[in-house]
Amino acid sequence: MDIDKIIDERLTSLLKFPKTVTDATAQIYERDVKCNSFLKDIRMDIRGFTKGLKKMNADQKRNFIKEMNKKYDEAEKLSREKIVIAQNLYDVIDNEFQELGNTLQDIVPQNPKKNDDVDDDEPDTSDGSRRKSKKRKSADEPVHVPKLLTVDMPVDPNEPKYCTCDGVASGKMVCCDHSECEVEWYHYTCMGLDENYEIPDKVRWYCETCRPLFKNAPFQWNYERNEPPPNMPRQPPPKKRKSGKGNK
């Protein structure tokens, strides 16, 4: 068995990881942006539909509902594609770690001999007790392989920037309800929002730049207390599922 060749093959495979991960995350991000754009359009269209509902005839209403269903279907399709890409990436990483574990089992002895080395230079104690022995680990002991690997993802300099921090899209983000907002998306953490809380569709949230334009807008977020407007209860965070083999 050519150990050097096996190690080279595993290293070559591992070096492909950064590109594999970045390609997958880029595909997920692309679909996420499109999906959020559809959802934002739907919210804006529904508001316009509500305002002009009385002036619409039956055909116009049917056409509007048909158009909304198309956008919802597109958003759902993009969401499913994100799940498939993420699952495929997980399978690739899981398979690679299994291969790495198998390789280590092939090249590392399974039954190493443990040597107990006695320090002959250590003098006897005055009461004639036994010499102290020092145990050291054999160089042939099996290597511990961590189940998880933390990878620092490289940031693409061409990736779009968002939020007041001028950073890339990451974590949970909130969209400004002003359709002409230049920044549009903001990180929950930068805005001091609770990541366990979902802002209801009825509530309007504007960034600091756009707020002066919508001072009298109804159902507006309470920015001072960072909570929903009065008479609208805060939604509880989603219940955590019990851990198990089926939950990944």
**Is residue 137 domain-resident?**
no
- 105 and 163 both lie in a single domain: no
**pTM to 2 decimals?**
0.40
| Number of alpha carbons in the 13 Å side-chain half-sphere of residue 236 | 3
Bridge partners (DSSP) listed for residue 68: none
State mean pLDDT over 95-103: 79
- Point out the annotated binding site for Zn(2+): 163, 165, 176, 181, 187, 190, 207, 210
- 72 and 168 both lie in a single domain: no
Please tell me the distance from the alpha carbon of residue 89 to that of residue 104, in angstroms, as a whole number: 23
Query: DSSP letter string over 66-80?
Result: HHHHHHHHHHHHHHH
- 1 and 106 both lie in a single domain: yes
Q: Which of 72, 93, 110 is the last residue of a domain?
A: 110
Q: What percent of the chain has pLDDT over 70?
A: 71
- 8 and 98 both lie in a single domain: yes
> 82, 32 in Cβ contact below 8 A?
yes
- Point out the annotated binding site: 163, 165, 176, 181, 187, 190, 207, 210
Domain that holds residue 232: 159-237
> 145, 104 in Cβ contact below 8 A?
yes
Report the CATH number at residue 56: 1.10.287
State mean pLDDT over 91-119: 67
In this structure, of 45-54, 199-208, 222-231, the range with the lowest mean pLDDT score is 222-231
Q: What is the pLDDT of residue 151?
A: 36
In this structure, of 45-59, 89-103, 107-121, the range with the lowest mean pLDDT score is 107-121
Q: Is 168 helix (H, G, I), strand (E, B) or coil?
A: coil
- 93 and 192 both lie in a single domain: no
**Domain tally for the chain?**
2
Please tell me the distance from the alpha carbon of residue 185 to that of residue 27, in angstroms, as a whole number: 19
Please tell me the distance from the alpha carbon of residue 44 to that of residue 154, in angstroms, as a whole number: 35
Q: Which of 110, 139, 168 is the last residue of a domain?
A: 110
Instruction: Specify the higher pLDDT residue, 172 or 230.
Output: 172
Bridge partners (DSSP) listed for residue 162: 167
Instruction: Specify the higher pLDDT residue, 97 or 91.
Output: 91
Q: Is the per-residue pLDDT at 137 higher than 50?
A: no
